[in-house]
Amino acid sequence: MDFIYNSFKIRYLKLNTLFGKLHLNDVKSVTLYINLESILNPLHQKSYEEYLTSATSDSVMEEYKSLIANIINIAAHYRQYFTRERVFSNIVFFYNDFNEDGKYNNSIRVKKYRKSYYEMYNDDRYERVNEIIRGAIEYCHKIIDFIDGVYILKSSRLESSVIPYLCHDSKILKADLNMILTKDPYDWQYVNHKFLVLVPKGDESIILYKKIFTKYLLYKNDMLDKYKILINSKLYPFILSVMGNKKRNLMKVKGIGFKKLYKELEKLYINDYLTDENPSSYNIEYLNELIRSSNGFYSTGVKELISDNYYVIDLDRQLNVSDADENESILSGLINRYDNDGLKRLNDKTFADNPLLLVELNNYYPNILKDGI
């Protein structure tokens, strides 16, 4: 499964090219959030389950240690890059707990919210895969606790993709720049909150930000030569609400694809119903009423469907109704118990065949400064 893990490591030359276009010379510190679910979900493959079922106990143990090492070494890959650029880095993995009962804050709006996610991690068809994942993630928590400036946070009721926003809002991790590494389109809305969104895809990897986001959507949907107006990226949560999201069991509006929806939004701009000068025009209630009254593709119940979807997508709406106790529990994971000597002993004893890249993880920019280099 190395190809899955390695697909999250954007090559340094590519990163140089992508960051070079952004002119970030004044950036001295970054916080990189990594969507752990984007890494783990693809492991649920029938062929991998069959391999683990027939493999020897030694081979299964090697897979277990390989998963741990590969997750941690993704952090090492990016920390080393920022160290080379003399930029201080915090790195935060985030995910939704798969040991809970499948009940989420958003279940109030969408009854089966994330049902497929919960079932995937509790599915007998992937029994061995899930044993490996559960054990590896538990051990990752124990190891990462002792790596300075690297964290792994999980949520139970709160949608995991709200975690970076919660951390940013808490101001515990201060940085000149916030970024998120993800393959989940749900996370793309972070461009509206001054995050850079790194989408790893080999030579086609890209950094999304507000200025280019709409054109990227048009490119992904084969509309670059078919649009009249570049709509505001703040409409993306609304677009997601109409298009749905399988991972979170959000139903789409039947009969409405991206192209049709985009054309309808263009009409609202042309008729001055939507305008960047009036941010309130992007309000979900206003949008819902506008589109319902301006055309005939809204059937009974669709307005409610879109509203419910929007409330479980939009980051601000979710943070406003989040549970204070759970938020505190999530943020309590932002602790450092740095122990490089202990990590070295563990690495030599347990990870000889799949070593943790401790030099890359621990010899980062602040330590370089302390050593006078």
- Number of domains present in the structure of the chain: 2
CATH number, domain of 50, equals 3.40.50
CA distances from 199 to 35, 237, 307 (A): 11, 18, 28
Residues 237 and 347 in one domain: no
Residues 193 and 164 in one domain: yes
- Decide which of 290, 315, 340 is a domain's last residue: 315
Helical residues (DSSP H) of 85-162, grouped into ranges? 115-120, 127-144
pLDDT tens readout for residues 200-244: 999 999 999 999 999 999 999 999 998 999 999 999 999 999 999
pLDDT at 301 over 70: no
Mean pLDDT of 138-165: 95
Residues 90 and 172 in one domain: yes
Residues 121 and 251 in one domain: no
Residues 171 and 76 in one domain: yes
Q: Do residues 179 and 32 make contact, with C-beta atoms less than 8 angstroms apart?
A: yes
Which of 20-34, 114-128, 216-230, 284-298 shows the lowest per-residue confidence on average (mean pLDDT)?
284-298
CA distance linking residue 321 with residue 324, whole number of Å: 9
Residue 143 pLDDT level (bands cut at 50, 70, 90): very high
Residues 204 and 257 in one domain: no
Look at residues 184, 179, 327, 165 and name the one whose alpha carbon lies nearest to residue 250: 184
Residues 230 and 117 in one domain: no
Residues 191 and 226 in one domain: no
Whether the model clears a pTM of 0.75, i.e. scores above it, the answer is yes
Residue 277 pLDDT level (bands cut at 50, 70, 90): confident
Residues 93 and 180 in one domain: yes
pLDDT at 366 over 80: no
Q: Which domain holds residue 175?
A: 2-211+322-370
Residues 204 and 266 in one domain: no
pLDDT at 186 over 50: yes
- Decide which of 293, 315, 337 is a domain's last residue: 315
Residue 58 burial by Cβ neighbours in a 10 Å radius (0-12, 13-18, 19+) = exposed
CATH number, domain of 244, equals 1.10.150
Residues 188 and 236 in one domain: no
Residues 160 and 281 in one domain: no
